[in-house]
C-alpha cells in the first residue's frame, strides 16, 4: 500500500494527531480490507464511518434494493435511489464521501454456499443482517475463514454489539440454542427506532477501527446491550 498522500494527510488530520492512532494507524486503515454484510440500518452508519475513516477497500454484500420504508433509518440511501440495489447505492455514497476508498459491491444474498467466497481476500467482517439464521451463517463462515467478526443487532428501542475473534468465544457460545423464529419478530412487524440503528452501527464501526488499528480493548467475549428508552448500556460476559 502506498504512503498517505498530502490530501489524505489533510483529510485524516484528526486521526493522525490522535494519540494511539497517528500515521501508523491511518496507514493500517488504508491497508485494511473490510467486508460489511448488509447495507441497511446497521450497515449504513458502519459503511459511512468506515469510509470516512479511510478504510482502503470496503466491500458490501446486499441483494436488496432501496425502498421508501428504508429511508427512516438507512441514511446512506436517498429518495432518488429507490429501486436501486443497496450495494450500488452504498457505493455512490462512498464515492461522494471519500474517493480514496476502493468500493466493491456484492449484489447477492449471502448464504452458506457463497459466504466463504464472499469473504475471501478480506481481513475483517461486519455483520449487519437482520435475521438470526443469516447471522449464524456469517459467524460460522468468518470463524472458518479465521476472520474477526463485528456483529450487531437491533429491535424496537434496543440494540447489541459484540466481537468474535478467531479461536475465541464464538457465536455458538453466545447463542447455544437456536431460537424459534416466531420468538424473533422482524422489524417490519414490531418496528425499530431509526436512531437506534445509528447507535449500534456506529459502535460496530468503532469496534472495526479498533481492531484494524490495535487501539483499545475490543468487545471480545463481551456483549454490549443498549436500551434506548432508558439511555443505558449494560455489558454481559459470555
Active-site residues, by number, are 187
* Angle ∠(143,148,222) on CA atoms, nearest 5: 100
CB 37 within 8 A of CB 110: yes
Residue found under cell 441514511: 75
- Strands 57-61 and 33-37, by their bridges, are parallel
- Residues in the chain, overall count: 238
Cβ neighbours, 10 Å, residue 229: 10
Closest by Cα among 95, 227, 222 to 169: 222
H or E stretch covering 53: helix 43-53
Amino acid at each position: 500500500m502506498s504512503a498517505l498522500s498530502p490530501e489524505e494527510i489533510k483529510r485524516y488530520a484528526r486521526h493522525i494527531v490522535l494519540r494511539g492512532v497517528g500515521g501508523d494507524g491511518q496507514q493500517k486503515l488504508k491497508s485494511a480490507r473490510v467486508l460489511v454484510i448488509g447495507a441497511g440500518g446497521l450497515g449504513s452508519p458502519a459503511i459511512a464511518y468506515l469510509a470516512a475513516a479511510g478504510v482502503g477497500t470496503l466491500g458490501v454484500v446486499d441483494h436488496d434494493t432501496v425502498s421508501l420504508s428504508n429511508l427512516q433509518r438507512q441514511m446512506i440511501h436517498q429518495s432518488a435511489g429507490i429501486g436501486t440495489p443497496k450495494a450500488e447505492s452504498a457505493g455512490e455514497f462512498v464515492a461522494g464521501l471519500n474517493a480514496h476508498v476502493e468500493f466493491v459491491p456484492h449484489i447477492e444474498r449471502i448464504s452458506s454456499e457463497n459466504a466463504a467466497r464472499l469473504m475471501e481476500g478480506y481481513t475483517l467482517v461486519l455483520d449487519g443482517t437482520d435475521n438470526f439464521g443469516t447471522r449464524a451463517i456469517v459467524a460460522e463462515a468468518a470463524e472458518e475463514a479465521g476472520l474477526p467478526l463485528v456483529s450487531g443487532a437491533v429491535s424496537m428501542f434496543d440494540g447489541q454489539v459484540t466481537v468474535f475473534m478467531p479461536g475465541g468465544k464464538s457465536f455458538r457460545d453466545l447463542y447455544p440454542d437456536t431460537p424459534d423464529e416466531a420468538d424473533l419478530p422482524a422489524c417490519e412487524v414490531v418496528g425499530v427506532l431509526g436512531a437506534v440503528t445509528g447507535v449500534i452501527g456506529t459502535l460496530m464501526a468503532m469496534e472495526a477501527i479498533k481492531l484494524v488499528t490495535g487501539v483499545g480493548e475490543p468487545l471480545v467475549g463481551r456483549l454490549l446491550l443498549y436500551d434506548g428508552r432508558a439511555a443505558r448500556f449494560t455489558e454481559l460476559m459470555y
